[in-house]
Amino acid sequence: MQFNWDDIRIFLEIQRTGRLSRAAKRLGVSHTTIARRIRQLETRFGCHLFEPTGGGLILTEAGQEMLQKAMEMENSAIDISSRISRLEGKNRGRVRVGAPDGFGNAVLSHILPELVKTHPGTEIEFVPVPAAHKLWRRDVDIAVSLDRPMAGRVIIRKLTDYDLLLYAGPDFFTDQTSPTCREDLKEFPFIGYIDELLYTPELDFNRGILSDLNVVYRAATVKAQFDAVRNNAGLGVLPCFMARDTDLVPILPDEINFTRTYWLLYPEEYRLLPQIQAVSRFIHKRTNDMGAVFRSQ
């Protein structure tokens, strides 16, 4: 039985996205084309490869049998492309980088433009990942993450540790006394994340301070929280690399402080792609060059 590589690509995109429409958008073809091609593939095999659920399309048992070999075909295609690019002396390719909004806005948005100037032919797509990224579904090629995966075929590099402190706006204590201990914080309004949108417990800072703080303003992004703190709406835990060189005031820094870690991730099968290597090395180096920026001292 002969295979059309495009049909295998369609099969993999449906498996990763769970929707015909999303697969069509990712591949740049129409929804009807995706539906027709997958029906043809199923007819050729004489079985269904997907079944519908409330959460989208999932693989049938036959689809599961096909998945591993389809991924091996994809990896072979990636390897062929990489080898040819190296032989031709090219380092071309589009790389989509995803990162949390704090690191993305304060760091990557400033350094990634340098990359396209120093690596002609490389195209960068920079997207926020406010929720758990779908690296395994190829929503992004390279992800910066607060969570380190414990399983999966993923290349993992530590980018940096970073510190966070509790901050107040420049005029927050104009008409009130600053807190002298943790218990005093119950008397003040707080800024924080929206609980149901808190995609990792690593960001649940307020509960790490006290269980019954008066949180008056919640936002899904750290940038929105930064703006609220700076506008004196309440106290909030913020990364030191965002608060540095601003007029924000650290509160009880010896008693209330946190350290978290950023990780750089990409699929193992991308390890030989020159454009992935170039972008990941650049992000790692530039982040390490900025080392002191991420610490409280």
Give tens-digit pLDDT for 197-235: 877 788 899 999 998 899 999 998 999 999 999 999 999
> Class of 5-87 per CATH?
mainly alpha
- What does CATH list as the number for 162-260? 3.40.190.10
- CA distances (Å), 238 to each of 18, 94, 186, 290, in order? 36, 32, 18, 18
The tokens for 282 are 């650049």
Q: What is the pLDDT of residues 142-172, one digit of tens each?
A: 999 888 876 667 889 999 999 999 999 999 9
> For the chain, what percent of residues have pLDDT higher than 90?
47
In 3-state terms the chain splits into helix, strand, coil percentages (rounded to 5) of: 45, 25, 30
Q: What is the pLDDT of residues 56-108, one digit of tens each?
A: 899 999 988 888 888 778 777 766 665 665 555 454 578 889 998 899 999 99
- What does CATH list as the number for 93-160+261-294? 3.40.190.10
The confidence band for 271, taking pLDDT boundaries of 50, 70 and 90, is confident
Same fold, 5-87 and 162-260: no
User: In angstroms, how far apart are the furthest CA atoms of the chain?
Assistant: 79
**pLDDT above 90 (res 176):** no
**DSSP string over 5-67:** HHHHHHHHHHHHHS-HHHHHHHHTS-HHHHHHHHHHHHHHHTS-SEEEETTEEEE-HHHHHHH
Domain ranges, ordered by start, for the chain: 5-87, 93-160+261-294, 162-260
- Determine the pLDDT at residue 84: 63
